[in-house]
Structure 1
Amino acid sequence: MFLRCFKPKFYKKSKSTTSYMKIRIDIVRRKRIAMVRNYKTDIVNFLKNGQDSEAYRRAELLLEELRIISCYDLIERFCDCISENLSLMLKKRECPEECREAVSSLIYATAWVPDVPELKDLRAVFTKRFGNFIASSVNHELVEKTELLRPPSRELKIQTVKDVANEFSINWDPTPLKLMLLRETSALQIKDKVETRADYLNKDTEKSFMDEHSDDESVLSESWRIDSLSKGSLSSSSSSSSSSLRRVSVRKKKGKKILPYGIISSPDTKLGAGNDEKAQEEKEEKRKIADQENSRLLGIQGSRSLTSTSNNEVSTIRENERMSSFQRPNLLDYDDVVARLAALRRR
């Protein structure tokens, strides 16, 4: 009597939601059944026109509609279970054993059946009273039909076409369709093998190219290292040759002992015509020796670096020309100098 007069919110919400849900399921199921009829009509027309492949494709769509309709049937069955045991659920704070599968399955179906929005309201009511649902209590048939881990097999599609043909009294032989599907499958397998082989060859060629590229890089690095070493040796040889040339030129300058103009030599060191000729001959001999040594050094250097050799040769030739063009100044006679100094004193 108390429950009839003052019904709790859980009871009223669950009762109204399950009632509305059954009405919604009936509406959407009629639409799906109409689609099933249309697909069956299409399959029959295709079979009469000899288009077995199109009938085979329509069979997959037909199986999809039948799957959704079966989900609606399961949800409607669970709603009936909730309506029958609602008074028992109201008396207990925990979900009864008789309703545990129905409650868990309806909460689970909320994420997989978008055509029935009343499932969200029912899930809110159940989770508020009983907490989260237990995954192990969900109906396995509902899980298989909602998740659909893989599409229907070829045999199931052919059997569906055959059932539709028998339903409409059509004598249909599935052998040509099976042969056609077998040829398509073999062609796809050959194509996959060819693509796999092409990918394998591309990987091999890429690997070989990378190996050749790495070998080329090693060869280049080795050549660069050799070039750097040769350049270092050439630079060291050029520096040694230039230092040797500088030493030769310094020795030449030291050996000449050129007196500046205006310094008066002693009477004992007067140079005559014979002495000048000897000094000139000695100078020529020293110049020849220096030229031979320079040419020898330049020849060694030219075998290693043509550019440095040409530069050193030009500098050496210019230095030799400058040294050869130099002439020793003629010194004044001692008696003339003494006479000039005496004349300056008298002034």
Structure 2
Amino acid sequence: MGFILRKTSKQTRKLKTLLRLAVSRIAVARRPRLARKSIATSDVSQLLALGHLDRAIHRVEQVIQEGNMLEAFEMIELYCKRLTEKAAQLDKPSECVQEIREAAAGLIFAAGWCGDLPELPLVRTILTEKFGNDFASTAKDGTGIVDPMLVWKLSSDATNMELKEKVTKEIAAENIILVDFSKLTEVIDDTATYHQDLDLDTPW
């Protein structure tokens, strides 16, 4: 029989089951995140309309967090489906094409960041056994063939002021709200002062 037609191992069958469960769980986990993103976006829009730029900038953090995770879910779902469809190839990891190795690396990395998907740590264990510790170690670090976009979506800092300004401006533009972003410097200064005060506090 040809390579593609041969039966998969017991370990690979278990992996396929876990991948299908992960895809089903993504469908469930996506809904509350969509709702939270929608509410946070609406809040930012209202705050901007009322002239509360400082509060809008703070609230936009959740818009970024939920949006990043939703986009990461899309990539993870694609990887799960790709490995499920090509499962037979996983019994010979050294012969896997680049897209399969990229999917495996992506899921290994995502396992450390997605608490919503408890199947991923189990997927990571199986993929580590198949592809080896060196491959897994590189993937966990988000390097090698892990898609940089997935790394950014899962590990980016939602408090980054440049990113918050960008997303806030996008929300303002989408809702045709005129905002004086020259005041943003004041907001940044106030935020920096606030964090400095926290650093100076003596912990109990």
Q: Match for 1:19: what amino acid?
A: R
SS at match of 1:158: helix
Report the CA distance shift for 1:152/1:185 in structure 2 as closer, same or farther (over 3 A): closer
Do the aligned partners of residues 60 and 4 (structure 1) sit closer, same or farther apart at CA in structure 2, a change above 3 Å counting? Answer: same
1:109-146: CA deviations, max 9, x gaps? Answer: 11111110100121122222332225112222222222
Alignment CA distance shift 1:34-1:178 (3 Å): same
Cα pair 1:14 1:125 within 8 Å, conserved: yes
Whether 2:172 is the aligned partner of 1:165: answer yes
Q: Is the 8 A contact 2:108 2:120 kept in 1?
A: yes
Unaligned 5+ runs, structure 2: 139-143, 195-204
Task: Report the residue type matching 1:183 in the other structure.
Answer: E
1:78 aligns with 2:82: no
Q: Which amino acid aligns with 1:71?
A: A
Shift of 1:107: 1.2
Residues 276-327 of structure 1 show CA distances to partners (whole Å, capped at 9, x for unaligned) of xxxxxxxxxxxxxxxxxxxxxxxxxxxxxxxxxxxxxxxxxxxxxxxxxxxx
Distance 2:193 2:45 in 1: 33
Separation of aligned partners in 1, 2:168 and 2:53: 9
Cα distance in 2 for partners of 1:34, 1:113 equals 18
**TM-score, structure 1 as length reference:** 0.47
Letter in 1 for 2:94: E
Q: 2:199 is matched with which residue? A: none
Q: Following the alignment from structure 1 to structure 2, what is the Cα–Cα distance between the partners of residues 109 and 94?
A: 22
Q: How does 1:1-347 map to 2 (within 5 A)?
A: 8-90=9-91, 92=92, 94=94, 96-98=96-98, 99-132=100-133, 133-134=135-136, 135=138, 136-148=144-156, 151-154=159-162, 156-168=163-175, 170=176, 172-175=177-180, 177-179=181-183, 181-185=184-188
Tell me the CA shift for residue 81 of structure 1: 1.8
Deviations 1:36-92 (CA, angstroms, capped at 9, x unpaired): 1101121222233332222221112211111111211111121122122212223x2
**CA–CA distance in structure 2, aligned partners of residues 190 and 37 of structure 1:** 30
Report if the CA contact (8 A) 1:10-1:125 is conserved: yes
3-state DSSP of counterpart to 1:94: helix
Q: Distance in 2 between matches of 1:123 and 1:46?
A: 42
For residues 188 and 30 of structure 1, the distance between their equivalents in structure 2, rounded to whole angstroms, comes to 32
Q: Which runs of 5+ in 1 are unaligned?
A: 192-347
CA distance in 2, matches of 1:111, 1:62: 22
On the 8 A contact 1:158/1:174 being kept in 2, the answer is: no
TM-score, normalization by structure 2: 0.76
Aligned partners of 1:95 and 1:130 also within 8 Å: no
Task: Specify the code of the residue in structure 2 equivalent to 1:173.
Answer: L
Aligned length: 186
Deviations 1:227-281, CA, capped at 9 Å, x for gaps: xxxxxxxxxxxxxxxxxxxxxxxxxxxxxxxxxxxxxxxxxxxxxxxxxxxxxxx
Give the match for residue 214 of structure 1: none
RMSD, matched Cα: 3.1
Identity among equivalent positions (%) equals 27
